[in-house]
Amino acid sequence: MTEPAIVARGLRKRYRRTQALAGLDLTVPAGTVYGLLGPNGAGKTTTVRVLTTLLRCEAGQARVAGFDVRREPDRVRSRIALTGQDTAVDELLTGRQNLVLFARLLHLPERQARQRADELLAQFGLTEAADRAAGQYSGGMRRRLDLAVSLIRPPAVLFLDEPTTGLDPRSRNQVWDRIRELAAGGTTVLLTTQYLEEVDQLADRISVIDAGRVVAEGTPAELKSRAGGDRAEVVVRDRADLPAASRILAEVCTEPPRVDIELRRLTGPVTDRVVALSGLVRGLATAGIEVEDLGVRRPTLDEAFLRLTGRERAAAEREVAA
Amino acid sequence: MSTLVTRVRYGVWDGWTMTRRYLTHVVRSPEEIAIYFSVPLLFVLVFGYVLSAAMVVPDGGDYREFLLPGVFVMSMVYGLGATAIAVATDVGRGVVDRFRALPVARSALLVGRGTADLLRAVLEVTVLVGCGVLIGWRVRGSVAETAAAVALLLWLRFALSWVGIWLGLRLRNPDLVGVIVFPLAFPLTALSNILVAPELMPGWVGTVAEWNPLSATAAAARELFGNPGAGGETWPAQHPVLLAALWPLLLVMVFTPLAVRQYRGWGIDPPSAPAVVR
C-alpha cells in the first residue's frame, strides 16, 4: 500500500478575474503515467504550477512524492522535475553547458556533473549538437534537451506540461518514446496536453479538466466510450423528408437523433458502424428518401471535449431551437 | 545548526553557479557587451572630438579629461539594460520557473546576477580606462584615490544592478526592456554633470543636474582621479564622495527589497501574463 505519487484535494486558485482552479481533486498512483486533458485555459498549467511548488493556491491541499507542497516545498522540489510549456533552457549556453549548469544546481560534484551531461547528451541523441548554442536547436532538439535537464537526477515525479505542443510529428514521436521509457523505468509522470491522441498513446489514466475542475476521470478506453462512439450522419435533399429520415435513423441509433433543420442534417450515436450503415441505406432506399450525404464517423477531438465538458448540451439546445 | 551551515554553503555555491552562468553569457555572446560599450565610446567620440571645441570646463581644464569619468559613469548606467534584459529573458522563457522548481537557494539568481554584473563592470572599466589613456586621459590621484574612484563606480553599478533586476522581473519581456532602457537612461545621463558642468546649465536644470545621483559619482571620480571639473560652490559639488557613497546606498535600500519581493511573489500573477513570443 504505497502512497499515491500525487494527491490533491479541493485546490482553488483565483487570478484577478478568472477562477483558474475551482476545487480540483487529483490522485495519481505511483509509477503511472497520468494525463491531464483539457482545452486552453482549463487550469492544466495552474495545476502543474501548484503541484511543483511554483504557485500557492488559496484553498486545498496537495502532497507530491509524500510531502506537502506548501509546508515542505524543498523536499518536494528535490523529488520532482518540471518540463514546462516553454522550453526552459538557457539559449545562450550550449546543450552541454545547460546540462552542466543544472547538474551543478543539483549539487553534483564537478566531475560527476560533466559525466552526467555526457550520458544524457548521448541518450537524447544530442552528442553532435552538444557544443552548439541551445538557441540554435530545432524545436524538437530543444524539447529533448529540456527533457534531459529534467532527468539529470531521476525524479520520483516528472511533470510534463504540454511536452509536444508545437512539435512536428517526428519530434513528437521521439518525445513519446522517451516518456514511455521513463514510465517503463517506474517514474511517475504527470502529463498535460490538449491532444486526446497523446493521452491515448501514453497515459494509464486521465483526468479531463475544464474550468478548473475535473469533469471526468478514468482510463483512456473508459473516457473514449463516454466521449461518445461513432455517429451516423444523414443529409437529406428535401427538408420535408427530415421527419421520415429521423424515424429511420432512430432505429439504428442508441439515442434519439438530433436534427439540424437548417443544414437538413440528422446525427445520432451508433454502436456498430457496419450494421448501422447498412440499415440506414436499406431504410432510406425503401422509403424513397433522396440523400445528399451519408456516413458514420468517429467523434472529433472537439466533440469529445465538448461532450465531456458538458457544453454539448447547450449547443444541442440551440440547434433544436433554431 | 548543521542545516544552517549547509544552507549557507549551498546558497553560496548556487549563487556562484549562477554567476558563472551569466559570465559564460559574456563569452558566448560578446556582441552584447560590445553594444553596451558602444554607447559610452560613441559619446567619447561625439563629445570628446566632434563637439569638444564647443565644450567648456568651468575651471578651464581639458574637456576630454573632464569627459572620461563621466563616460565611466555612463557605462555603469547602461549596464543596467543588459541586466534587465537578461533577467527578463530568463523570466519570459520559464527558466526562472525551472530554477524555482529545483531545490536551489532562492537567492541564487539575484545574487548570481548581481555578482556577475560587478565582474562585468570591472571588465568595462578596464577597457574604458584603456581607451581613455589612448586619447590622453590621465590619472593624477594617488593609488588609494584611484582605487576609491573605481570602487565608487562599481558601487554605483551594484546599486543599478538591483534597479535592472527589478525592471527585468517586472517587465518580463526582453524586447520591451530593450525599447525602454535608452529613453529611461538617456535623460538621466544628460541631466547630470556627465557631459556638461551644471553651473553652465540654466537655473533649475543645473540644480537638478547637481543633485542627480549620477553627478555625485562622476564628480567624485573626477576629484579622486584628479581630473578637472571637480569642486564648486554648491553643497553637492563640495561633497561628491559622500554623495557617491550615499546615493547608491539609497538605491540599494529601495530596489533590493522591491526586486526580492517581485521574485518571491512570482506565483501571484498569472503565469502567461505578457508571454514572450519566439
pLDDT number for residue B36: 73
B184 to chain A, closest Cα gap in Å? 26
> What's at B114, amino acid-wise?
G
Q: Which residue has the higher pLDDT, A84 or B215?
A: B215
Contact A105 B276 (CB under 8 A): no
pTM, entire model: 0.80
Q: Which residues of chain B have pLDDT under 70?
A: 1-2, 266-278
Do B69 and B222 contact (CB within 8 A), yes or no? yes
Q: Which residue has the cell 529601495?
A: B254
User: A231-298 — its CATH code?
Assistant: 3.30.70.100
**Domains of chain A, residue spans:** 6-225, 231-298
Q: Judge: B98–A149 Cβ closer than 8 Å, yes or no.
A: yes
B17, B99, B271 member nearest A49 (Cβ): B271
State the amino acid at position B252 in one-letter form.
V
Chain A nearest-CA residue for B273? A15
* CB within 8 Å: B24 and A91: no
> How far off is chain A from B32, nearest CA to CA, in Å?
11
| Model confidence pLDDT, tens digit, residues B155-205 | 999 999 999 999 999 998 889 998 998 888 889 988 999 888 888 888 889
Residue A314 has pLDDT above 70, yes or no: no
Domains A6-225 and A231-298 fall in the same CATH topology: no
Complex confidence, ipTM = 0.83
Q: Which residues of A touch B (CB under 8 A)?
A: 15-16, 18, 20, 45-46, 49, 52-56, 74, 77-78, 80-82, 84-94, 97, 101-102, 104-107, 133, 149
* B106 to chain A: closest CA residue: A74
> Is residue A301 scored above 70 in pLDDT?
no
Residue A88 is nearest to which of B14, B29, B97, comparing CB atoms? B97
Residue contact A55–B267, C-beta within 8 A: yes
- Assess B24–A contact: CB distance below 8 Å, yes or no: yes
Per residue in A244-297, pLDDT (tens digit) is 999 998 888 888 888 888 889 998 888 888 888 898 899 999 988 999 999 887
Beta bridge partners of A193: A37
Residue B156 corresponds to which cell in the numbers above?
554605483
In the beta sheet, which residues pair with residue A133?
A94
Range with the largest mean pLDDT of A14-23, A147-156, B47-56, B176-185: A147-156
- Match 517506474 to its residue by C-alpha cell: A186
CATH topology of domain A6-225: Rossmann fold (3.40.50)
* CA-based end-to-end distance of chain B: 46
Select the residue from B19, B97, B264 to test the A interface by mutation, using most A Cβ atoms within 10 A: B97
pLDDT of residue B274: 38
A contacts of B97 (beta carbons < 8 Å): 49, 54, 82, 84, 88
CA distance B8 to chain A (A): 13
Q: How does the average pLDDT of chain A come out, rounded?
A: 87
Identify all chain B residues contacting A16, using CB atoms and an 8 Å cutoff.
270
For chains A and B, count residue pairs whose Cβ atoms are closer than 8 Å.
82
Which parts of chain A are beta strand (E)?
A: 6-14, 19-28, 33-37, 59-64, 67-68, 80-83, 157-161, 188-193, 205-210, 213-218, 231-236, 258-260, 265-269, 291-297
The rounded distance, in Å, linking the Cα atoms of A233 and A231 is 6
Interface with B, mutate which of A46, A74, A104 (most B CBs under 10 A): A104
For residue B121, which amino acid is it? A
Confidence of residue A122 (pLDDT cuts 50, 70, 90): very high
Contact A105 B104 (CB under 8 A): yes
Kindly state the cell numbers that stand for A135: 538557441
- Looking up cell 504550477 gives A49
Q: Which three cell numbers stand for residue B250?
A: 539609497
User: What is the mean pLDDT of the segment spanning A293-305?
Assistant: 70
Q: Which three cell numbers stand for residue B214?
A: 549620477
Asked if the Cβ–Cβ distance from B94 to A107 is below 8 Å, we say: no
Q: Which of B100, B101, B270 has the CB atom closest to A15's CB atom?
A: B270
The verdict on a CB contact (< 8 Å) between A84 and B10 is no
Nearest residue to A57 via CA among A68, A42, A41: A68
**Which residues of chain B are within 8 Å of residue A56 when distances are taken between CB atoms?**
267
Interchain CB distance below 8 Å, B93 and A88: yes
Question: Nearest to residue A91, comparing CAs of A143, A147, A134, A144?
Answer: A134
pLDDT of residue A119: 96
> Residue A58 carries which side chain, given as an amino acid letter?
E
Distance CA A68, CA A59 (A): 13
Q: Which residue has the higher pLDDT, A217 or B3?
A: A217
Q: Does B264 touch chain A (CB under 8 A)?
A: no
- What's residue B267's pLDDT? 53
Beta carbons within 10 angstroms of residue A306's beta carbon = 21
Burial bucket for residue A87 (CB in 10 Å: 0-12, 13-18, 19+): buried
Chain B nearest C-alpha distance from A251 (Å)? 50
CA distance A122 to chain B (A): 23
